C-alpha cells in the first residue's frame, strides 16, 4: 500500500527537548514492518499546530486529492492539528477521499467504524487541544518561576548590555542562570545618550550627534534609527536604573502582515504592551544601574516636553503653536497654510481619515489669535491680580496636606498598588493550579517584605516633607509681583522667540470656538524641600472661576470665511 508519512513539532515542544527525529523513526519503522511503500514525507519543525494554514499541510491535502497515497501514517492525531475542529475536519476530508489515517501510538484505530470511530476521534481531538493549553500554561508557569527567582529571561538584550543565558564553571555546571552583563563597547555610548537626554536633547539631535561623532550602532552602521533611540529612552529606560520587567508584551495576531508570507510559523506574530500591573519586576545588580530612578523620570519628562513643544518644519511663525485646542472636540489644532494665509486648524479631519470628520470646528488666522493672546498675557503680567488670586486658592487647598508636589510619595503609592496587584495574581495563580502551596507562600512572603519596606519609606518621606513646611503665601505674592514687574519692563522689546518662551513657560492652553477663545495657564513654582526629588508645582491661572471667554478681535468675517471654506 502506498503511504505518506507526516510529523510536526512546535517551538514550545522543541524547548521541552522533543524533536522530529523520533517521529521519523516511529513512522518509517511502522511502514517498513507492514511492507508499505513510502511515496512522500511531510515534516514540519517549529510550526504551531493551532492552524491548518501550513505549507506542508496544504501540500499534503493537495496530494491526497490527487490520490498520491492510500494511507497517511503519523504518530498521534495531534501531529495533524492541535485544534479540535481542524483535526476532525482533516480526518473527515481523508475519509471522503478514501484515505486511511494510521497512528502508530493507537494501532487499529483506522479500522474502527460507526459510533465508536466518532467517539474515539472526538476524544482524541479534545485531548489534543487540552494538551496544547496545558503545555502553554506549564511553560508559562515555569518561566514565571525562573523570573521570580531573580533571573532574566529574554531574547532581546537592551543596548549597552549583553544577555548571558547560562554561566557555567570549569566542570560545565550552571552556576548562574539568565542575567545581563555590560557591553564594554556600547556602555560608554549609552552613557552619552542618557546624558544628552537629561539635558533635554531631542531624539533627532541625539541621532545627528552620534552620526557626526561616527559612533556606530550595534550592527556597525553609522546611521541610527529613531526607533533604536526611542527604545533606549522609552521601554528600556528602566533597565538602566536597575529594574527589568518580564511579561511586558503579549503576542497577538497582526492586523496587517508586513512579511508577504502565506505560511507564518505562528499566527500571533505581533507584540503589544500589556497593562503595567501584569509586568513581573526583577531587580538587577547595582553595577548595572547607570542612572537613578529620579533621572529616569527626568528623562521621561524631558522627552514629553520635547514632544509637546516640537515646532516641526514650519514656514510661518506661530506664537501659540501646540497650545491651541478646538473647544468642540478638545483635539489639538495644527498649524496650516490656507491659500497663503497661516491659520490654526482643527485636525479632526486628518485624525479620523479615512473616516468622515465629526467635529465642525474650523480655522482661525494665526495672526489674529496670536495678537489677541499676547494682548491678554501682557495684561496678566502688568496687572497680576489674577495670578495672586489663583495662588491664594492653591495655598489654601494645600493647608491640610503638609506637603506640596510630593512626587516621591506618589511614586511609592504607585509601587504599593503594583505589589497589591501582584499578591492578587499569586492568589489567582494558586487557585488555577499554577503555583504549589509552598511556592505561593514563598512569593507572598517576598511581596509582604517589599510592602513593609514601602511602609518605612513612606513614613520617612512624610516626616521629611512635613519638616519642609508649607508654602508661605505672603512670600509667594511678593515673588509674583517681583517677577511680573521685571517682565513688565521688557515686554515692549521682546523678540518673537522670547514671547514664545513666555507662552510655553506659562503652559497655556488656548481653546478656540466660533469667534471666541478662552485661556488657561499655570505658573511653575517649587516647594522648599531643596532637593532633586522635588517636582515642579503649578497652579491654574485660568481654571473654573478665573476662565474668561474673549471675542476674537479683528475681522470676524474673515475668520468665519476661512472656517467654512
pLDDT of residue 542: 36
Higher per-residue pLDDT: 174 or 97: 97
151-173, pLDDT tens digit by residue? Answer: 888 888 899 999 888 777 777 77
Alpha helix ranges (H) inside 149-183: none
pLDDT of residue 74: 92
Q: How many CB atoms lie within 10 A of CB 213?
A: 10
Mean predicted confidence (pLDDT) in 363-379: 84
Question: pTM of the entire structure?
Answer: 0.43
**Phi, psi of 39, rounded to the nearest 5 degrees:** -100, -25
Residue 562 clears pLDDT 50, i.e. is over it: no
Residues 6+ apart with CB under 8 A from 50: 81, 82, 83, 132, 266, 267
User: Over pLDDT 70: what percentage of the chain?
Assistant: 76
Residues 6+ apart with CB under 8 A from 170: none
pLDDT of residue 530: 37
Residue 143 clears pLDDT 50, i.e. is over it: yes
Higher per-residue pLDDT: 77 or 338: 77
Q: Tell how far CA 292 is from the center of its chain.
A: 21
pLDDT of residue 408: 67
Q: How many CB atoms lie within 10 A of CB 334?
A: 18
* Nearest alpha carbon to residue 545 among 389, 434, 356, 322: 389
Cα angle for residues 15, 440, 414 (degrees, 5° grid)? 95
**Which three cell numbers mark 353?**
481619515
177-216, pLDDT tens digit by residue? Answer: 888 999 988 999 999 999 999 988 888 889 889 988 999 9
Q: At what angle do helices 293-309 and 184-198 cross, to 10 degrees?
A: 60
* Pairing state between β 37-45 and 2-9: parallel
- Measured CA to CA, the distance from residue 507 to residue 497 in angstroms comes to 15
- If 0-12 CB within 10 Å is exposed, 13-18 middle and 19+ buried, where does residue 27 land? buried
CA–CA distances in Å: residue 68 to residues 2, 65, 72: 8, 8, 11
**Mean pLDDT of the chain, nearest integer:** 76
pLDDT of residue 42: 94
263-274, pLDDT tens digit by residue? Answer: 666 667 677 888
* Pairing state between β 522-525 and 537-540: antiparallel
Q: Tell how far CA 384 is from the center of its chain.
A: 43
Mean predicted confidence (pLDDT) in 293-309: 84
**Which three cell numbers mark 343?**
491659520
* Nearest alpha carbon to residue 130 among 122, 117, 8, 27: 122
User: 507 with 538: CB under 8 angstroms?
Assistant: yes
Q: Return the half-sphere exposure (C-beta side, CA atoms, 13 A cut-off) of residue 234.
A: 12
Higher per-residue pLDDT: 398 or 239: 239
* Nearest alpha carbon to residue 111 among 100, 120, 122, 124: 100
Residue 251, SS3 per DSSP: strand
Cα angle for residues 92, 95, 97 (degrees, 5° grid)? 115
Mean predicted confidence (pLDDT) in 96-103: 90
**Which three cell numbers mark 440?**
505561593
- Measured CA to CA, the distance from residue 159 to residue 240 in angstroms comes to 10
* Cell 561616527 found at: 214
Amino acid at each position: 500500500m502506498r503511504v505518506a508519512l507526516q510529523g510536526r513539532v512546535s517551538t514550545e515542544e522543541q524547548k521541552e527537548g522533543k524533536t522530529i527525529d523520533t517521529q521519523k523513526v516511529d513512522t518509517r519503522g511502522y511502514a517498513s514492518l507492514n511492507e508499505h511503500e513510502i511515496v512522500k514525507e511531510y515534516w514540519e519543525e517549529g510550526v504551531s499546530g493551532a492552524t491548518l494554514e501550513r505549507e506542508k499541510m496544504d501540500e499534503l491535502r493537495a496530494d491526497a486529492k490527487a490520490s498520491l497515497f492510500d494511507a497517511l501514517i503519523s504518530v498521534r492525531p495531534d501531529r495533524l492539528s492541535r485544534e479540535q475542529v481542524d483535526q476532525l475536519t482533516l480526518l473527515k476530508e481523508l475519509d471522503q477521499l478514501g484515505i486511511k489515517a494510521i497512528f502508530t501510538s493507537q494501532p487499529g484505530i483506522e479500522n474502527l467504524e460507526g459510533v465508536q470511530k466518532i467517539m474515539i476521534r472526538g476524544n482524541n481531538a479534545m485531548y489534543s487541544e487540552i494538551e496544547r493549553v496545558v503545555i502553554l500554561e506549564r511553560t508559562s508557569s515555569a518561566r514565571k518561576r525562573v523570573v521570580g527567582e531573580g533571573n532574566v529571561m529574554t531574547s532581546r538584550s537592551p543596548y549597552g548590555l549583553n544577555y548571558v543565558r547560562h554561566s557555567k564553571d570549569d566542570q560545565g555546571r550552571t552556576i548562574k542562570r539568565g542575567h545581563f552583563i555590560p557591553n564594554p563597547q556600547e556602555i560608554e555610548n549609552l552613557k552619552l545618550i542618557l546624558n544628552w537626554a537629561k539635558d533635554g536633547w531631542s531624539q533627532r539631535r541625539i541621532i545627528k550627534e552620534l552620526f557626526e561623532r561616527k559612533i556606530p550602532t550595534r550592527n556597525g552602521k553609522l546611521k541610527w534609527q529613531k526607533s533604536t533611540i526611542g527604545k533606549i529612552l522609552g521601554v528600556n529606560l528602566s533597565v538602566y536604573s536597575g529594574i527589568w520587567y518580564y511579561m511586558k508584551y503579549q503576542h497577538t495576531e497582526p492586523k496587517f502582515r508586513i512579511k508577504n508570507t502565506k505560511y507564518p510559523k505562528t499566527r500571533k506574530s505581533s507584540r503589544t504592551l500589556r497593562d503595567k500591573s501584569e509586568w513581573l519586576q526583577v531587580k538587577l545588580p547595582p553595577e548595572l544601574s547607570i542612572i537613578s530612578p529620579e533621572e529616569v523620570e527626568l528623562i521621561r519628562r524631558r522627552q514629553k516636553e520635547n514632544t509637546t513643544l516640537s515646532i516641526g518644519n514650519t514656514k510661518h511663525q506661530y506664537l501659540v503653536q501646540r497650545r491651541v485646542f478646538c473647544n468642540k472636540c478638545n483635539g489639538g489644532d495644527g498649524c496650516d497654510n490656507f491659500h497663503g494665509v497661516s491659520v490654526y486648524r482643527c485636525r479632526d479631519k486628518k485624525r479620523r481619515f479615512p473616516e468622515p470628520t465629526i467635529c465642525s470646528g474650523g480655522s482661525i488666522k494665526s495672526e489674529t489669535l496670536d495678537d489677541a493672546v499676547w494682548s491678554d498675557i501682557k495684561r496678566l503680567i502688568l496687572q497680576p491680580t489674577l495670578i495672586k488670586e489663583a495662588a491664594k486658592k492653591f495655598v489654601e487647598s494645600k493647608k491640610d496636606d503638609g506637603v506640596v508636589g510630593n512626587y516621591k510619595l506618589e511614586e511609592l503609592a504607585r509601587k504599593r498598588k503594583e505589589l497589591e496587584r501582584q499578591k492578587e495574581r499569586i492568589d489567582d495563580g494558586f487557585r488555577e493550579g499554577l503555583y504549589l502551596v509552598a511556592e505561593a507562600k514563598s512569593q507572598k512572603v517576598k511581596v509582604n517584605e517589599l510592602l513593609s519596606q514601602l511602609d518605612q519609606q513612606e513614613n520617612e518621606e512624610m516626616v521629611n516633607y512635613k519638616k519642609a513646611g508649607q508654602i508661605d503665601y505672603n512670600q509667594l505674592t511678593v515673588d509674583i509681583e517681583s517677577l511680573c514687574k521685571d517682565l513688565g519692563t521688557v515686554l515692549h522689546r521682546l523678540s518673537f522667540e522670547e514671547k514664545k518662551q513666555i507662552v510655553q513657560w506659562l503652559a497655556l492652553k488656548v481653546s478656540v470656538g466660533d469667534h471666541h477663545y478662552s485661556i488657561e495657564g499655570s505658573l511653575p513654582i517649587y516647594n522648599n524641600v531643596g532637593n532633586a526629588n522635588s517636582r515642579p508645582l503649578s497652579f491654574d491661572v485660568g481654571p473654573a472661576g478665573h476662565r474668561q471667554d474673549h471675542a476674537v478681535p479683528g475681522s470676524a468675517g474673515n475668520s468665519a470665511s476661512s472656517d467654512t471654506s
